[in-house]
Copies of this chain bind each other. A is one copy, B any other.
Amino acid sequence: MQISELSDRSGLTVQTIKFYIREELLPKGTASGATRAEYDEGHLERLRLIRALREVGDLPVAAIRRILAAVENDAVGMHDLFGTTQYAIGPHVTPPDDPHWRAARQDVDALIAELGWHVTDRAPARDLLAQTFVALRRLGFPVTLTDLRPYVHAAAEVAEHEIGRVTDGAPRSRTVHSMLVSTVLYEQVLTALHRLAQEDASARRFGTAEG
C-alpha cells in the first residue's frame, strides 16, 4: 500500500509516519518508483503499536525505540520483553532519601518476599507501592498484611487472567501491544469499577435514601 493508505488505516497523519521513519522507529517502505514507496501489513502493525505506546503509555521516542528493539530481537524472551515494556511505563517515583521512605520500601520488599512473588529489585512498582505506604502512615493509617490481603488477592487474580490471555505463538508486537493495554487501560477499568462497586456495596450496607 502507499503512504496515504497507511495513514488512513493507522489513523496517523503522513507527517507523523514520515517522522517515525526519520527517527528509525518504522522501517522505510520498498521503493516502487522515484518518489513512491510500498508499505505492508508489518508497517501497519508496527505503527499501531507505536501509536499505542505514545498515546496510552505516554512514552518518549527513546523508550519506544528500546521497546521496539526488544520486540525485534528474538533472543529477548517473552518475560524480559514484558519487563522492558512495563518498566518503561510511568508513573515513576523518585525515592526521597528519608527514613520514612526507607522503612516503607523495606516493608514492600518484605511483603513481596513473603508472597514469594518473582519481581526484580529494580521494578518501579516497588517504589510506587512504597509511596502509598508513606502517604497512608503520614495520615495515621498503619498498613498491615491483613489490610493488604484483599488487594493482593484481587491483583493476583487479575494479573493471572491477563498473562493467561497471551496466545502462544502470536506475533511479538501484538503481545507487547496487549500487555501495554492491560497494564495501562485495564488498570483504569479496574479503578473505575472499584468506585462503582464501592457505591453498590455502600448502598447494600447502609441503604439508599429511597429505601
Contact B135 A185 (CB under 8 A): yes
CA distance A124 to B199 in the complex (A): 11
**A110 interface residue, CB < 8 Å from B?**
no
- Extra contacts, 18 of them, besides A79-B209, A129-B193 (Cβ < 8 A), are A51-B139, A79-B205, A79-B207, A86-B198, A118-B200, A119-B196, A119-B200, A123-B196, A125-B193, A141-B181, A148-B193, A150-B161, A151-B186, A151-B190, A154-B157, A154-B158, A190-B190, A191-B191
Does A128 make an interface contact (CB < 8 A)?
yes
CB pair A196–B157 under 8 Å, yes or no, is: no
Assess whether A151 is in contact with B205, with CB atoms less than 8 Å apart: no
Residue of chain B at shortest CB distance from A115: B200
The answer to whether A83 has its CB under 8 Å from any CB of chain B is: yes
Give the dominant DSSP class at A's interface.
helix
Complex: chain B residue closest to A193, CB-CB: B155
Interface string of A144-169 (1 = CB under 8 A from B): 00001011111111111111101000
Chain B residue with Cβ nearest A76: B209
Contacts A56-B135, A166-B205 given; does A154 touch B199 at CB 8 Å: no
CB-CB nearest in chain B for A81 = B206
Interface string of A48-60 (1 = CB under 8 A from B): 1001100110000
